[in-house]
Structure 1
């Protein structure tokens, strides 16, 4: 066999070995991505505070950035993780309504520390969640029912409960307000959300019902309900931005060194 033939054979063997190694690495990469994604889902489900929240995580999609996870397995750090959890909201009309489940949310994680596989920590976490109009309406109606129940069952309270009823909520993207309708159009109240120093507040503009100013208790119950839902959605995270879009209220939160278990509970 000539030297040229031997050299050609060596190159063919080397190329074949290299191809096998590349194929094995690709298979291992895909397998590792599936394994880590499945493990993260199971961990998040275990950390969920409710059955509906657990179902949302179970149906979530998890993706990783371009950095090979084979390298991340050695460094114990995943540079990028995106988790998209669908809405599991189930709202039943009633007086008051029933709300079960959680809104949709998108989690963007940078530098996920996996040194402790039972407690991965996000170096930086950004959460976007969308609160639909029907969800806002139900939460406001629940808050109004609780506020009216605390006032007693006297005639004045019963009359107020019958006349001051929230019957519709619309997210107005053009004005940047949440428009609340009372008693099928008898009055309207616009609420403007603002974020400042990591927190959010809802400011109610004046409204009248049958020519009289709405009771302070009514507007306070509504703004307090929205404050509570925004706080529950973000937990200990800071509010970066809150935007009223048509049909939804979009809120963005962020935080540093956040345990992944807390990120799920804050949903």
Structure 2
């Protein structure tokens, strides 16, 4: 009887030892994989961001460096190792700092953003099953965007700088105030996310005591809408869910399903490249 108990005790100890060893190896693999992917994506995101800023020749008050451009990357509570076996990253949160730089109306780098992804397919075409992102767009970014839009619509590059000289966001009225020709006249727009689309509605438009022609306000609204769509959504099916007007910036939240990061706007170009370079061929 004693021999049987001793054998059973020994077997249990062996089983427990093997089990704990497997758990330890699994935990080490999980933490190692998280560290490796996070580190690689962070470095490559920063490198892409800096190279694009330098390549465009734009400089800002704080030029982007690889250290300042590094995002924060995390992978949620679901085991990353199990997800990798199924061919996708289960969860991912990326907080990107602003690397925005503007010179002579040329936008390079990107505003700050928070990106939440569920089900990132591991392939050279990174596709997110679900994606939600919130971008912070400062006034200087809005000004450069609308100046560029006006210049493109008119066919005269300098016209945007001459016509629109200042943009101010007003949290109290939840509006965007646009100054023309150094304040000679003003246009007030209210941004809204409606049925997944971004709209800007004019609530006030005056030249001294006269109302601006409707076609002028429509042109300004269209230029700003098109610029935001290109910068944030690109060719993807991202929907505009919410727009919050703060003093000094706009916060825009977009979401979508089965989103190819390579088809998203310029805002997320570095993100797509960083994910793509750290995934195996499909």
Residues in 1 aligned to 2:185 and 2:40: alpha-carbon distance in whole angstroms: 51
Q: Is the 8 A contact 1:208 1:214 kept in 2?
A: yes
Q: What does the per-residue CA deviation read over 1:205-247, in whole Å, with 9 as the maximum and x for residues that have no partner?
A: 2322233333555433421221112211112212222222222
Which stretch of structure 1 is more off in the superposition, 4-13 or 120-129?
4-13
Q: Which runs of 5+ in 1 are unaligned?
A: none
- The offset of 1:202, in angstroms, is 0.9
The residue aligned with 2:255 is: 254
Q: CA separation of 1:226/1:53 partners in 2, compared to 1, >3 Å: closer, same or farther?
A: farther
- Seen in structure 2, the aligned counterparts of structure 1 residues 216 and 148 have a Cα distance that, compared at 3 Å, is farther
Deviations 1:129-153 (A, max 9, x none): 121111112222333445566599x
SS of 1:193's partner is strand
Give, in angstroms, the shift of residue 190 of structure 1: 1.0
Of structures 1 and 2, the larger Rg is shown by: 1
Equivalent of 1:98 in 93, 99, 106:
106
Cα distance change on mapping 1:141 and 1:260 into 2, 3 Å: closer
- Segment of structure 1 superposing worse, 66-75 or 140-149: 140-149
Question: What corresponds to 2:233 in structure 1?
Answer: 234
Distance 1:29 1:200, change over 3 A: same
Q: In structure 2, what is the Cα distance between the partners aligned to 1:199 and 1:219? A: 18
SS of equivalent to 1:204:
strand
**Alpha-carbon RMSD:** 3.8
Deviations 1:176-225 (A, max 9, x none): 11111234443332101122222111112232223333355543342122
Q: Counterpart of 1:171?
A: 169
Say which is worse superposed, 210-219 or 5-14, in terms of deviation.
5-14
After superposition, residues 10-159 of structure 1 pair within 5 angstroms as 16-37=17-38, 51-52=52-53, 59-92=70-103, 94=104, 97-114=105-122, 117-146=123-152, 150=156
User: How much has 1:53 moved relative to structure 2?
Assistant: 11
Partner of 2:185: 187
Partners in 2 of 1:198 and 1:43 — Cα distance?
32
How many angstroms does 1:77 deviate by? 3.5
Where 2:27 maps in the other structure, the secondary structure is: helix
Indicate how the Cα distance of structure 1 residues 119 and 142 shifts in structure 2: closer, same or farther if over 3 A, else same: closer
Q: CA deviation at 1:64?
A: 0.7
What SS is found at the alignment partner of 2:204?
Answer: coil
Is residue 145–residue 228 contact of structure 2 (8 Å, CA) maintained in 1? Answer: no
Structure 2: 5+ residue stretches without partners: 56-63, 269-282
